[in-house]
A and B are shown apart, each in its own frame.
Chain A
Amino acid sequence: MTVTEPGTDRVALAADAADAEIVAAVEGWLQAHLPEDWQDAVARGDLAAVEAIREDPERGPAWFDLLGDSGLATPTWPVEHGGLGMPADRGAVVTETLARYRAERHQRDFVGLVLAGHTILEWGTPEQKAERLPALRRGREFWCQLFSEPGAGSDLAGLSTRAVRQDDGTWRIDGQKVWNSYAHLAGYGLLMARTDPAAPKHRGITYFLLDMRTPGVEPRPLRQMTGDAEFNETFLTDVVIPDSARIGPVNQGWSVAITTLMQERNGLSGRPAVGPGEADRLVGRAVETGAWEDPVLRDRLLEAYVEEKVLQMTTVRSFVASGDAAPTAEGSIRKLAHSVLAERLGVLGLDLEPDGGTAWDPEAGSEAADRFLAMKTYSIAGGTSEIQRNIIAERVLGLPKDPDPERHLPFNERGRS
């Protein structure tokens, strides 16, 4: 099978190719391009060795350049922007196949690759697309999200960071953002700011692509309950950016944000395939620790196993289905189910550990404890489970919207929280 077009590094693959055809083409390309020691490490299951190559400051970026130019990093992007023009379910087969070789993009690239990528594709000017998309495709730019604020969490549209138009056409931005994963490492940020305080809150927001190196942008790491500090609060003080950083029309940033938020919800419940998952890993661990012999624990594990498979089946279905339910609500259903499952697995994981899992040798560490402490991420990040339940009840079942007395009030006349 021809895997590359003559004279280019792009994979030749029809947008509507069948599963087997995609797998064969991607594997063929990987076998021809993936470094040999990487392939060997995958073959012998040495994930640490693969990780070392992926994180190598020379070899990692070199790989992701190659992957980006092949189109395989962005299978659902249009061909003219370096993608393969595939629908979501075809693109998922590509990503799935890459993942089997650990050749897929870093998880931490999600904000850039998925959120920024799709937002720019849908709303960007030709210049923005030309400037930003190639670097996103190759993983050369790292992105963060600057949405939430201390006073605007679930009520995101209540954000108060100001962007004021200057006489020279530039924007001056002042405010504070929070829960910004990797903002201290990011080159660019997806930013929402208030541009018309006299309009109701959803109608006075504008969306920007912020260069994080602009003077006045100051991320400060926040320590999470896990002890890690991957997210930040970000202070924006007299940050001046050109109008070319604006994406979408002035005061219509909320519509742009919906694109980003939908991508986020859709992306949070895993890849569309029925296969081994976190529950399988826990079953394996239970067999190892002997917890599997406890019939009560065993049934709890199997219950979680069933829920994981059913969620996987639902993800497969949602990639195939076209329009059974509004995409936002459908994404919310999967996100909510995933959050419930993640919590169940986090609790179970620790229950399987010897001696209750509450103490361990310092040099060994405890993956189960790390996961237990991280599990609440899922029911909060990307919209809390309570917000997802509102969305589902309102959009799927047609129940009344939650009362919001300030929804139609000019933003600057609302009560302060």
Chain B
Amino acid sequence: MKRTGAQIVWECLAREGVEVVFGYPGGANLPIYDAMQDYPIHHVLTRHEQGAAHMADGYARASGRVGVALATSGPGATNLVTGIATAMMDSSPLVCITGQVASKLIGYDAFQETDVTGITLPITKHNYLVTDVHEIGHAIREAFYIARTGRPGPVLVDITKDAQQQAIDWEYDASPIRLPGYHPDRRPARKDFQQAANMISAARRPLILAGHGVLLSGAMAELKRFAEQTHTPVALTLLGLSGFPAGHPLNLGMMGMHGEAWVNHAIQEADLLLAFGMRFDDRVTGDLKTYATQARKIHIDIDPSELNKNVKVDLALVGDLRQTLAELLEFVQPCEHADWLAHIEGLKDDSLLRDIQNLPDQGHLYAAHVVFDLWRYTDGKAIVTTDVGQNQMWAAQYYRLDDPGTFISSGGLGTMGFGLPAAIGVKFARPQDEVWAIVGDGGFQMTQAELSTAAQEGIKVNVAILNNGYLGMVRQWQEFFYESRYTATPMRGPDFIKIAEAHGLTGLRVTQRPEVEPAVRQAQRTPGTVVIDFRVEQEDSVYPMVPAGADLKQMIRRPLPSPLVEPVQESI
């Protein structure tokens, strides 16, 4: 059948089961857009290509499917870059399809020409430059296959305009994909399972470190069985949140820089760390020289390059986490660690006294209160996306997540402006769910133009702006490490109610804690997207905090009535 390259693109997307794409048209992808109307795929016109990439990312994380973003050549493609890098760091499966100038113009600095495959080479799992219409079908099929298998990640396909325009006789090739250098399916050897089981039964103070891999491989049930069968407490990374129910008695909470104090202490005292689908990021380990020195370590990950990268481990198992845990469970004996769990309970010490939720109400509206109340009034059932910084950490600390895949945040790259577009993408993936973007006033302004996308699409998300008039996390570092010199962090924002209203949406403002519930309720009742401007305490900080590169036990804690903050040097 005669097909143009552009039609082949859509044909392939339809065959992959794609229902929605996020994108922005331009000169070099006009043929693709022109062919779009013949296919049953919904296109979401974003206001910036970065928004398209984040929406596709949010869609992918909430659906477990591949997210698709489209952009034109040159600036269109370069605007995708932040979103692609975000997806790369967080192992999110994306396929980005960019238009490229005609093949005869490549290399001549044509209008809107840029070396997109060159630019995205280090931030994609793989990428393709397609100049021949015959190659489009293969490239797109391979792109989807690579994006979703093994450790997921973004794949970019850059297609020249002439390849989009040419017509050929074409049939969809459904034969198995063969890539001689790509082997995503790996399984550990039998002897490694036995060795792991021996190490587990020998441990007295074991601790599971569960990461994003739990969610990516769908290992929630296996993790729960493993934790229960071996009576081992579970600490979560930021992106591991929601992979193990917050309400489970073996759930300790989040680890790392802004993790719970007792979790970081427990890591330092453990005699066995079971790292499941996590990568020992520096925000999780602190100083590597003093990290968990008493613990033997077993690391399960699907990506061999993550093993022994940051932390030298005693046993590394390469494989899909769900499958590997299921097999490992056949080897491990039931264990009992009541003493260890009791000890960890003791490590909580005065943590509850320091918790802002338990501090006397002074009439101030704290961001942490807003998040906590949001959790209460949404019954903990919303899907939460975040920006990056204090808003993200408070969301992680106080929105307690029981259901898998309900916390969507830019962890590795730490991308401000992620929250709103990601929330829109999430809503397309899970239209029945309540979606809240918890963002700061700084990050929100980076991508607030996507409110216009939400309005045009008639899509309902709720945006909670934790508005403290500062770039809060940077201000916090300035307070702790730069003698409170607040350089370039105070930020005067716009009237967010008017911003919402200018888009035909609803804006609300909250300045007192009693106003939180009515505002949340009103947002829930309102059919369209609602923006709530929470005017929170301006100079509050996220506690505890392990300064970058410091020992995990060296935490800055929220002060009790007497000052407890010890001066610590910043290293990174």
Verify that A and B bind, or say they do not. no
